[in-house]
């Protein structure tokens, strides 16, 4: 019996017993009474609302809390059966690797190979060993084509792979990833998460993944832990979590199963393939058929994005081009108009030129070619200091965005109605509990909510948002989306860059698809998605061969209700033991 218990203990990577943590000068715990076990070879998905304590738990598991961040702890946290505080920093660095949300914060050098070797250098390892480890990581992650590239010229996905290579070079037993795909386009995110899954399957590396991209991460994981207000409110298998979330009406559920929650709780699908199978089971006569030669794109009426518009556009761009110093062209022959009262989403791969386009409209990048007008300003008049009364711009990276020491002060700084207006936006974005906190020290999701509150407090007519849903949970995305719709009803214009195609499908009326600095498609969300394969929403993929007009969760649920209500009522009744 003693040997069995010892073997079970050795199989535990982490064990938390009533672990509680307070950040300095905080009266409310960031983590409260956590009890959790992680075993060797686990693939654990950690989810929860923005500010629920996910990143704090990641920091605790790699020894950064409380040593680096300060504060106080109670309870116990063990790694490999040994109290965390008894491990040295170099021992933990060898054993536990962590990849944060923003790769730029973990890249220190301009040279790719030097960045990968940096962790090994800190451990004082021999040169020959470091060269071998770096070469192995570059081969494994297919990074040899980046060997001589300057870090600053890499895309977000490439940077994140460089960070991962540097972590894997140290041969860790555990890999903790804190929203590693938050800045990646859908294709790059899928590839990155597939790589992480391979590390777990083929090399038995224990994975702890924090993600808001539930659709891509749920099918990979074995166990889900849900955090809320620093407490664990659920832990169990993936399918168990889906049933629990459906029964509790919890928003932490991927789009595909969320579409079916009103119709069944027992057979919730995770993938498009499973969803289509379930649809055919619901209604035996249901078939996915298309007339030969017909596709979804042909079923939609094509129209110009400017058709039916009258008056003067807020933004007018003609033949815009831009090249960064000593770099490749970032924008090529861009023609675009943004009209009052519309929400336009710009999608495309990392490096497509989306953020550059926003910065030029915001008056932050001079030296472009072509014609750009914002309001009544164009040419040399188009400068940030001249047009800041007209528009507000929320960048993707918020490190240098905040100007004061507290959340409430930063929002009030942008408010023209002083304290009362700042209070309104604090409440609107559920920021009351962090009102006196330093915005620079908040989680990524909290930072974006503060940033949104700050720019909207200035009451702009044109709102430019670069990845506004980064680190934001499903419930808060819905609140931001509804706010965007309200702003458009007030005849304000919203232009947002996003990798969140499902968010765009719900709240944007128009979609602009960019690639390599050029606009390849510009039209209604339905039109553009019908012509895409990868840059589409989950609902659009599910219904692509049924009804291409269904491009979001809301429409998908309406469709199911109208077509399968009688059958689904019978299914739900059978699951509950009722006889219809």
**Tell me, which fold does domain 2-256 have in CATH?**
Rossmann fold (3.40.50)
Do 2-256 and 313-541 fold alike per CATH?
yes
Q: Computed from CA positions of residues 255, 280, 300, 295, in that sequence, does the dihedral angle turn out positive or negative?
A: positive
pLDDT at 102: 80
Per-residue pLDDT reduced to its tens digit, 13-55:
999 999 999 999 888 999 999 999 999 999 999 999 988 999 9
Per-residue model confidence (pLDDT) at position 10: 60
pLDDT tens across 256-272, in order?
Answer: 999 999 888 778 999 99
Structure confidence at residue 576 (pLDDT): 46
pLDDT score for 240? 93
Q: Look at the domain 313-541 and name its fold.
A: Rossmann fold (3.40.50)
Higher-confidence residue of 124 and 265: namely 124
Mean pLDDT of 379-398: 91
**Rounded CA separation 247/240 (Å):** 11
Residue extents of the structural domains in the chain: 2-256, 259-289+553-575, 313-541
33 and 232 Cβ atoms separated by less than 8 Å? no
Q: Is the pLDDT of residue 152 over 90?
A: no
Asked if residue 304 has pLDDT above 60, the reply is yes
> Which tokens hold the place of 65?
């809390």
CB-neighbour burial class of residue 475 (10 A; exposed 0-12, middle 13-18, buried 19+) = middle
pLDDT tens digits, residue range 329-373?
899 999 999 999 999 999 999 889 999 999 999 999 998 999 999
297 confidence band (pLDDT: 50, 70, 90): very low
Structure tokens at 274: 């499973």
Percentage of the residues of the chain whose pLDDT score is greater than 90:
59
Residue 568 has pLDDT above 50, yes or no: no
CB 30 within 8 A of CB 57: no
Distance set, CA 321 to CA 152, 369, 521, 536 (Å): 21, 5, 17, 27
pLDDT band at 579 (very low <50, low <70, confident <90, very high): very low
In sequence order, which residues have a C-beta less than 8 Å from that of residue 428 and are 6 or more positions away?
Answer: 453, 483
The larger pLDDT score, comparing residue 293 to residue 398, is at 398
- pLDDT level of residue 183 (50, 70, 90 thresholds): confident
Long-range CB contacts (within 8 A, 24+) of 121-126 = 122/90, 122/93, 123/90, 123/93, 123/94, 123/170
Mean pLDDT computed over every residue of the chain: 87
Q: 439-448, 500-509, 522-531, 569-578 — which one is most confidently predicted on average?
A: 500-509
Which residue do the tokens 């071998």 mark? 132
pTM: 0.87
pLDDT on residue 575: 47
Burial code of 369-381, b = ≥16 C-beta within 10 A, e = fewer?
Answer: eeebbbbebeeee
Q: How many CB atoms lie within 10 A of CB 119?
A: 21
Q: For residue 343, what pLDDT is reported? A: 97
Does residue 9 register a pLDDT over 60? no
Q: Which helix (H) or strand (E) holds 17?
A: strand 12-22
């Amino acid at each position: 019996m003693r040997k069995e218990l010892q073997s079970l203990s050795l199989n535990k990577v982490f064990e938390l017993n009533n672990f509680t943590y307070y950040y300095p000068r905080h009266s409310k715990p960031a983590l409260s009474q956590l009890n959790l076990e992680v075993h060797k070879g686990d693939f654990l998905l950690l989810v929860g609302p923005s500010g629920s304590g996910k990143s704090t738990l990641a920091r605790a598991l790699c020894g950064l809390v409380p040593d680096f961040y300060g504060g106080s702890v109670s309870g116990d946290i063990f790694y490999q059966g040994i109290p965390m505080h008894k491990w040295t920093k170099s021992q933990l660095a060898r054993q536990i690797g962590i990849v944060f949300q923003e790769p730029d914060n973990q890249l220190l050098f301009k040279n790719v190979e030097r960045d990968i070797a940096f962790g090994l250098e800190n451990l004082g390892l021999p040169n020959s060993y470091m060269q071998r480890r770096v070469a192995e990581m570059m081969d494994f992650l297919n990074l040899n084509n980046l060997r001589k590239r300057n870090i600053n010229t890499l895309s977000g996905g490439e940077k994140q792979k460089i960070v991962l290579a540097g972590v894997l070079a140290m041969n860790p037993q555990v890999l903790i990833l804190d929203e590693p795909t938050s800045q990646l386009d859908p294709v790059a995110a899928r590839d990155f998460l597939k790589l992480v899954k391979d590390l777990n399957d083929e090399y038995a590396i224990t994975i702890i993944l924090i993600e808001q991209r539930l659709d891509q991460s749920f099918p990979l994981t074995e166990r889900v832990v849900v955090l809320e207000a620093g407490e664990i409110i659920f832990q169990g298998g993936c399918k168990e979590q889906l049933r629990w979330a459906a029964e509790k009406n919890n928003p932490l559920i991927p789009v595909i199963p969320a579409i079916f929650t009103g119709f069944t709780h027992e057979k919730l699908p995770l993938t498009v393939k499973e969803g289509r199978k379930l649809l055919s089971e619901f209604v035996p006569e249901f078939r996915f058929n298309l007339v030969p030669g017909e596709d979804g794109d042909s079923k939609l009426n094509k129209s110009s994005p400017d058709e039916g518009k009258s008056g003067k556009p807020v933004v007018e761009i003609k033949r815009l081009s831009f090249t960064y110093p000593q770099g490749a062209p970032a924008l090529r022959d861009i023609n675009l108009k943004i009209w009052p009262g519309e929400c336009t989403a710009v999608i495309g791969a990392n490096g497509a030129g989306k953020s550059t386009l926003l910065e030029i409209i915001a008056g932050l990048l001079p030296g472009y070619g072509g014609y750009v007008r914002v309001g009544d300003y164009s040419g040399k008049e188009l400068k940030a200091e001249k047009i800041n009364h007209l528009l507000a711009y929320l960048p993707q990276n918020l490190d240098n965005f905040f100007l004061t020491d507290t959340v409430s002060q930063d929002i009030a700084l942008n408010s023209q109605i002083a304290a009362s207006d700042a209070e309104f936006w604090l409440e609107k974005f559920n920021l009351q509990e962090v009102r006196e906190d330093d915005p620079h020290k908040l989680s990524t999701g909290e930072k974006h909510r503060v940033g949104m509150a700050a720019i909207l407090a200035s009451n702009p007519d044109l709102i430019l948002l670069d990845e506004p849903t980064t680190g934001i949970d499903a419930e808060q995305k819905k609140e931001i989306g509804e706010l965007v719709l309200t702003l458009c009803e007030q005849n304000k214009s919203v232009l947002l860059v996003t990798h969140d195609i499902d968010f765009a499908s719900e709240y944007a009326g128009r979609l602009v698809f960019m690639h390599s600095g050029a606009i390849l498609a510009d039209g209604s969300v339905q039109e553009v998605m019908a012509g895409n394969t990868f840059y589409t929403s989950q609902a659009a993929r599910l219904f692509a061969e049924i009804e291409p007009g269904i491009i979001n969760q809301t429409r998908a649920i309406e469709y199911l209700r109208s077509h399968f209500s009688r059958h689904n009522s019978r299914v739900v009744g059978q699951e509950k033991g009722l006889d219809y």
